[in-house]
Structure 1
């Protein structure tokens, strides 16, 4: 039995009878795990807990002691995050900002983020941002093939960020994860991305599918590049990746398609923050390239 199939310890409680807070907590854990592209077993090992315990947590049957904390937070008229403490609870200004943003729509929050980037000078030169085209999406979306063609068409350098990370560290991506861990990989990813931005006023860059899982790295990308989400149906993602002889991170899973769908579902809300989206499914490579080229050229105000 694979780790994703391990049932919770207690199956007697119907979903409607489980505490809503624990159900929502379990859903957030599943979403975060999917966004990172990690199996339940991998998370359990990294966290030092049993897979059964993690399954209970995801199912909404986690340790009820967390409900005591929730009750205390309610009694104190504060959020659970404020009770536990995080960066946004360290000063009155943080709390006031949280209050202002708490009930805003996604569109409002996006506008606030863009204005904050401008306020603090975190973004790049407007013209350079326009001329840096970053392709995001899962493996198999066509980032490398279409990115190279787009770069040739525009006369821009083409950068594959995964290869830049490997050159920066001196070993393959899989070895970076195995030797140094996910946190170190994200640091190397950040350095390679910042170096590419610093050196190149214009480029087409193909990014790793999991870059959006790190908010700091994704912020850098959004602030300095025009982003394009290359979309594809799960079946096409899987077929293209298999054709490349690469099933990471699903190689050890007997249910690779389910894993891929979970990852895509977890990351889609972040991919959707891109400036534009191009659907590659149902199109030949030439057709997908034409759609991408036309959209980017329109953005750059270049004739097609």
Structure 2
């Protein structure tokens, strides 16, 4: 076996560095690109809140094969694709895209390629009204969305806040079930994750259309769907209710829901992984509140003051 993938002709592309693999790397598949690919697969899986077993079943692949992919043990053909992309001076994503991108898209992507997170945030906020994804100016109505992992206190605090403000309270999971005519678990088991995300998007759209004022408890995994999350961020005042992983697990179990621990010895590790990968998305919320640090009544008072300040409402005594 050759010790490397054939390099691109330097006479044609003198500045291109070929992907060179040792025999050991070829045998193990532990090329840095494959390791990075595995980490990204694991990261997206955690963002979706899926276990390795559930993803393997949904994808129709063996759990062992998926495990090897996440560990960076893959087929060398992936590296050949990487080398071709380097030769074309494009990204692997561009080669794998289902549709060809327009010149304007490519030019915009180039401008944003190496920008820092704060700059990207400002660009996103500026673009939203231009593409019709957000109200113009200060037209956003007083609609509150509580985001965070299960067990953060969204339902409990959301009901208290809605009563205090005189707003309707919406549990978005229940709205999804009304649209589908079955439970969330049944949607996912019968129709799959993609169908659930479509119902989730419809539920958010209807909540925005029907309720100019509301407090909405949002499912923890919604942030993994960029289009739906953009809709929420642009039409709601968002609050991230955060808690320690142990509190998330304890509160869910206290509600009688043992699913996070059922048949899963690594439940806490999975939960920590999900929280770690979703945190950058949750942190896009306008306000953050730690629900682990104080008793419920004190936490509610902090939330009440925070939201009323954002909405510029006078406290109703």
Does the alignment reach a TM-score above 0.5?
yes
Q: Tell me which residue corresponds to 1:4.
A: none
Q: Which of 25, 47, 51 does residue 35 from structure 1 map onto?
A: 47
Aligned pairs for 1:168-187 (under 5 A) are 168-187=179-198
* Largest Rg, 1 or 2: 2
Q: Retained in 2: the 8 A contact 1:134–1:228?
A: yes
CA contact (8 A) 2:41 2:70 kept: yes
In 2, are the aligned partners of 1:128 and 1:202 still within 8 Å (CA)?
Answer: no
| Distance in 1 between residues matched to 2:232 and 2:177, nearest whole Å | 19
- Higher mean Cα deviation, 190-199 or 89-98? 89-98
Q: Distance in 1 between matches of 2:185 and 2:260?
A: 10
TM-aligned CA deviation for residue 43 of structure 1 = 1.2
Match of 2:124 among 113, 121, 134: 113
User: 1:77 Cα shift?
Assistant: 1.4
* Cα shift at 1:303: 3.5
Q: Which has the higher contact order (CA 8 A, sep 6+)?
A: 1
Please state how far the C-alpha of 1:155 moved relative to its aligned partner: 1.1
- Per the normalisation by structure 2, the TM-score is 0.87
Query: Higher helix share goes to which structure?
Result: 1
Q: Is the 8 A contact 1:228 1:275 kept in 2?
A: yes
Equivalent in 131, 155, 161 of residue 172 of structure 2:
161
1:276 aligns with 2:296: no
Contact 2:172–2:219 at 8 Å: present in 1 too? yes
Runs of 4+ in structure 1 displaced over 2 angstroms?
83-87, 124-130, 247-252
Equivalences, count: 290
SS in 1 for 2:140: helix
Distance 1:126 1:135 in 2: 23
Q: Is the 8 Å Cα contact of residues 57 and 63 (structure 1) preserved in structure 2?
A: no
Structure 2, unaligned stretches of length 5 or more?
A: 1-23
Preserved CA contact (<8 Å) 2:149 2:220:
yes
Deviations 1:50-87 (A, max 9, x none): 21211111111111210111111111211111222355
Question: Residue 38 of structure 2 aligns with which residue?
Answer: 26
Query: What are the superposed Cα offsets for residues 122-164 of structure 1, whole Å, 9 maximum, x if unpaired?
Result: 1136666350100000110000010011111111111111111
Gaps of 5+ in 1: 1-11
